């Protein structure tokens, strides 16, 4: 008979095995040993210095393209025009937009643009942005084979109090989660930090979509849930992943449109999201999707 995670520990403490003598990986192991263990036990790829250098470049480019797109998003501009600019910017920097042709059915555009009640995976179209709209722009370039992934909200003119609150709260959720990152932190604490922050501000956390490992592939292990969860995997140096909380004014539930991508809130109330790609370092973290200082 094998002991399962929820059985009482063999030591007789009465606590569940997973909370007691569960054989956690020691994140202080030499890197090569840790790398092997994470691959075997979790299918998580701890990146080498060479990979980190490549991923950092892709992430810096993602941040730069995202900034240009956010600056261009104004009243009267269509999300298709944002997409065209994104295509141009990827080309200029010899990068490939990862969303284009991704998935099934293949995503038809280079970026996601998620307007108002759209939670995520909005497809750019010919509707002009108007006063009082807000939208998330999500950029994920492939540069020299490496992936970066980030997104941000843009306000078009003056927002309703609800939109202002959810836009700020989704940002605060992301920042609160980033602030606690370090080797050894169990993944579920990210979801706890985000949910606490959302609830303090009267908002709900979407649980249908999650953050993800990223860098060598677009969507790698592990899942990074934003809602409360029980993923008891300790963060380790060399992990690269996204945190991308989707926060709603009303109910947390999502409805997927007939295009099989566009995810909307079930009650039509506004939703907001911010996203960064993060590297876990030996002492803490590095936010990879920040623009490098200009030299
Ligand atoms: N950051 C988004 C994600 O990881 C990017 C989605 S691109 C899409 O889900 F092609 F999958 F839509
Ligand atoms: Co992502």
Mean pLDDT to the nearest integer, 12-22: 84
CA distance 34 to 26: 8
Nearest CA to ligand 1 atom 5: 138
Has residue 5 been placed in a domain?
A: no
CATH of residue 87: 3.90.230.10
Let me know if residue 131 belongs to a domain: yes
Q: Is residue 106 part of a domain?
A: yes
Q: Whose CA is nearest to atom 11 of ligand 1?
A: 99
Does residue 186 carry a pLDDT above 70? yes
From the CA of 138, how far away is ligand 1's center (Å)? 7
pLDDT single digits (tens) 213-272: 999 999 999 999 999 999 999 999 999 999 999 999 999 999 999 999 999 999 999 999
Pocket test for ligand 1, best of 119, 123, 138, 139 (most atoms within 8 A of CB): 138
- Look at residue 25 and tell me if it is in a domain: no
Inside any domain, residue 19? no
pLDDT surpasses 90 at 180: yes
pLDDT tens, 29-51? 899 999 999 999 999 999 999 99
Two tokens, residue 286: 């590095």
Residue 83 lies in a domain: yes
Domain that holds residue 231: 30-287
**Which long-range contacts does 11-17 make (Cβ < 8 Å, 24+ apart)?**
none
Quick check: 278 and 63 in contact, CB under 8 A?
Answer: no
Question: 92 C-alpha to center of ligand 2: Å?
Answer: 23
Is the N-terminal amide bond of 222 cis, ω within 30° of 0? yes
Q: Are 167 and 83 in contact (CB under 8 A)?
A: no
- Per-residue pLDDT band for 18 (boundaries 50, 70, 90) equals confident
pLDDT at 6 over 80: yes
- The string of pLDDT tens digits covering residues 97-143 is 999 999 999 999 999 999 999 999 999 999 999 999 999 999 999 99
pLDDT at 206: 98
Number of separate domains in the chain: 1
Nearest residue to 245 via CA among 290, 200, 193, 187: 193
Q: What's the pLDDT at 1?
A: 65
Q: Which numbered ligand comes closest to the C-alpha of 208?
A: 1
How many angstroms separate the alpha carbon of residue 139 from the centre of ligand 2? 9
Q: Which amino acid residue places its CA nearest to atom 2 of ligand 1?
A: 138
Three-class SS state of 159: coil
Greatest distance between any 2 Cα atoms in the chain: 67
Please report the pLDDT score of residue 294 as a whole number: 67
List pLDDT tens digits, range 189-211: 999 999 999 999 999 999 999 99
Residues with CB under 6 A from ligand 1: 99, 102-103, 107, 112, 121, 138, 140, 149, 151, 212, 244, 275
In the reported structure, the alpha carbon of residue 207 is separated from the centroid of ligand 2 by a whole-number distance in angstroms of 14
Atom of ligand 1 nearest to the CA of 244: 1
Ligand 1 atom closest to residue 121's alpha carbon, by position in its atom list: 12
Examine residue 292 and state whether it is found in any structural domain, yes or no: no
Ligand 2 centroid to residue 211 C-alpha, Å: 6
Q: Which of the four pLDDT bands, split at 50, 70 and 90, describes residue 295?
A: low
Q: Residue 73: what pLDDT? A: 98
Residue 130, classed as helix, strand or coil, is coil
pLDDT > 90? residue 71: yes
Domain annotation covers residue 16: no
Q: Give distance in angstroms: CA of 99 to centre of ligand 1.
A: 6
């Amino acid at each position: 008979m094998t002991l399962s995670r929820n059985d009482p520990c063999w030591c007789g403490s009465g606590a569940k095995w997973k909370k007691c003598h569960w054989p956690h990986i020691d994140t202080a192991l030499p890197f090569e040993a840790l790398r092997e263990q994470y691959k075997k036990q979790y299918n998580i790829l701890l990146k080498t210095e060479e990979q980190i250098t490549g991923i950092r470049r892709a992430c810096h480019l993602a941040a730069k393209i995202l900034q240009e797109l956010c600056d261009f998003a104004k009243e009267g501009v269509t999300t298709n025009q944002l997409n065209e600019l994104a295509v141009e910017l990827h080309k200029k920097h010899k990068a490939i937009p990862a969303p284009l042709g991704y998935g099934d059915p293949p995503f038809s555009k280079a970026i996601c643009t998620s307007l108002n009640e759209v939670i995520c995976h909005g497809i750019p179209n010919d509707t002009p942005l108007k006063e009082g709209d807000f939208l998330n722009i999500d950029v994920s370039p492939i540069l020299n084979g490496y992936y970066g992934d980030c997104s941000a909200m843009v306000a078009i003119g003056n927002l309703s109090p609800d939109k202002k609150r959810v836009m700020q709260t989704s940002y605060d959720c992301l920042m609160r989660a980033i602030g606690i990152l370090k080797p050894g932190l169990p993944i579920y604490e990210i979801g706890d930090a985000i949910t606490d922050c959302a609830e303090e501000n009267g908002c709900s956390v979407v649980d249908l979509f999650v953050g993800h490992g990223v860098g060598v592939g677009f969507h790698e292990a592990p899942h990074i849930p934003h809602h409360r969860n029980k993923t008891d995997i300790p963060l380790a140096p060399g992990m690269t992943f996204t945190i991308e909380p989707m926060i709603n004014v009303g109910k947390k539930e999502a409805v997927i449109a007939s295009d099989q991508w566009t995810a909307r809130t079930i009650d039509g109330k506004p939703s907001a999201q911010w996203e960064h790609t993060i590297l876990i370092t030996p002492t803490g973290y590095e936010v990879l999707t920040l623009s490098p200082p200009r030299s």
